[in-house]
Structure 1
Amino acid sequence: MMTRNFLTFDIEEWFHANYDGVDFSKYEGQSSNLEANVDRLIDICAAHDVKSTCFILGDVAKSKPQVIKKLFDAGHEIASHGMAHRLIYPMHPDEFRADIHISSDVLEQITGQKVVGFRAPSWSVKSETLPWFYEILADEGFLYSSSVYPAKHSLFGIPDFPRMPHYPLSQSVLEIPQSVMNLFGTSIGYAGGGFLRFFPAWLIKKEIEKENKRGRPVFIYLHPREIDIHQPRLELKGFDEFFHYQGISGCEEKLTGLIHAFEGSFLRMDEYAKKVQAEVPLI
């Protein structure tokens, strides 16, 4: 039986990020290559007959509804990434509920279809948010989340979190956590974002194959800016600047190579969550 994988995109502007001490509001309203980058991702998916899951910011949907309509019309899942890329763990539960309610409503008005998936900006679900995070998602009608980094990171992560998709606290909200590998005794991501851009394609492919042999699905994730060498640049310093921009020139080629390597295994996350909920064999 084939282990399923997921191709996911976080649809946000080039200035949507979370770094300490950086005022991102000053970049709002500046020129953007987002629509052209999304068009390119749609073409890549079409060339390989892959349907992705797209976690979309409500602010992006409000300012560029045509981009969301293009993704929806091409058969990609429209899921929520919150409203304005706010971290989850500083929020009060009522703030989080309002944020996902409003952002989902914006998306649903464009597509006419219920939003059932959520991804926290910057993997910002921590242990202290667990008592209310999944409960609120369930109340708002979500079927799944893809929000947890099951390892230690300076900004996020839950190191002892199970690495298989599972129901953490609710029998109605499935968590599909990020995949991590063991590197010199440290658990670290490899299949998306800065991790995917940094590690060589052969290593990423090997790790996905290892996880699939264990019966664990893996999701690849990218932001549209990560295939754009001509994007505007944030004023970052040191490691933040390196991590945010390294590997962009070869990212599209790496992405298409991985899609080709695992062609036929990709499933939209909403379809996977519905099959798991119904206990349908994932063939």
Structure 2
Amino acid sequence: GYRAPAFSIGPRTPWAREILLETGHTYSSSVYPIRHDHYGEPDAPRQAHWPDGPGGLLEIPPATLRVFGRHLPAGGGGYFRLLPYRASRGALRWISQVEGQPAVFYIHPWELDAEQPRIPGIDLRTRFRHYLNLGRTEERLRCLFRDLSWDRMDRVFAAELAGSRDWPAGQEVAAQAV
């Protein structure tokens, strides 16, 4: 599996999926179907899909909720730090239990380092996004591991990777992207 930096695989980079296939990858989690000022493809499917058809690279997006016609982020990263813990846990449970879909969650290693150096001179919005709640992230993550069932993406999506489109409906499963 592969996850592109800043979710940078999309309509402008179709060649990237071809390279990933050539290098032996079978799936990617590189398209976040949300609207964001630095990344995102808000019209992309919320569930696992084959952008180039079966036999191509399976795209497995991070978890999102569909609310008032928009895809809202629910899959981790900064959103996990910025939003209340109950919102993240509730969103992942909803996707799993109500929608019957696996919920992909990711986190950056630096988000577990509350003592990381502070970069001087960055703008307020960047500082807020990057540093808010770093000291709480590890405990929140421990709670999430305790509160939900987890497995590797290749096992959660084994049927899709084998060519089947049948989902394990009703199972509470979240996949951790590494």
- Which protein has the larger Cα radius of gyration, Structure 1 or Structure 2? 1
Gaps of 5+ in 2: 172-178
TM-score (norm 1): 0.53
Instruction: State which drifts further: 189-198 or 271-280.
Output: 271-280
- Offset, 1:137: 1.4
Partner of 1:244: 130
Q: 1:186 and 1:240, CA in 2 relative to 1: closer, same or farther beyond 3 A?
A: farther
Partner of 1:156: 39
Q: What secondary structure sits across from 1:195 in the alignment?
A: helix
Alignment of 1:1-283 (within 5 A): 117-130=1-14, 132-170=15-53, 171-182=55-66, 186-212=70-96, 213-235=98-120, 236-262=122-148, 265-278=149-162, 279=164, 282=168
Aligned CA-pair RMSD: 2.1
Higher relative contact order (CA 8 A, sep 6+): 1
| Change over 3 Å in CA distance of 1:200–1:180 after alignment to 2 | same
Distance 1:207 1:269, change over 3 A: same
Cα distance, 1:219 vs. partner? 1.9
Q: Distance in 1 between matches of 2:144 and 2:92?
A: 10
SS in 1 for 2:106: strand
CA 247–152 in structure 1, closer or farther in 2 if over 3 Å, else same: same
Task: Say whether the 8 Å CA contact 1:125–1:157 is kept in structure 2.
Answer: no
Q: Residue 198 of structure 1 contacts residue 247 of structure 1 at CA under 8 Å; is this kept in 2?
A: yes
TM-score after normalising by structure 2: 0.82
Whether contact under 8 Å (1:144, 1:273) holds in the other structure is no
Aligned-pair identity (%): 36
What is the match of residue 22 of structure 1?
Answer: none
Change (3 A) 1:273 1:139: farther
The structure with the greater share of residues assigned to helix is 1
Paired residues, number = 164
Which 5+ residue runs of structure 1 have no aligned equivalent? Answer: 1-116
Indicate if the aligned counterparts of 1:143 and 1:273 stay in contact, CA closer than 8 A: no
Q: Contact 2:65–2:91 (CA<8 Å) still a contact in 1?
A: yes
TM-fit CA distance, 1:193: 1.4
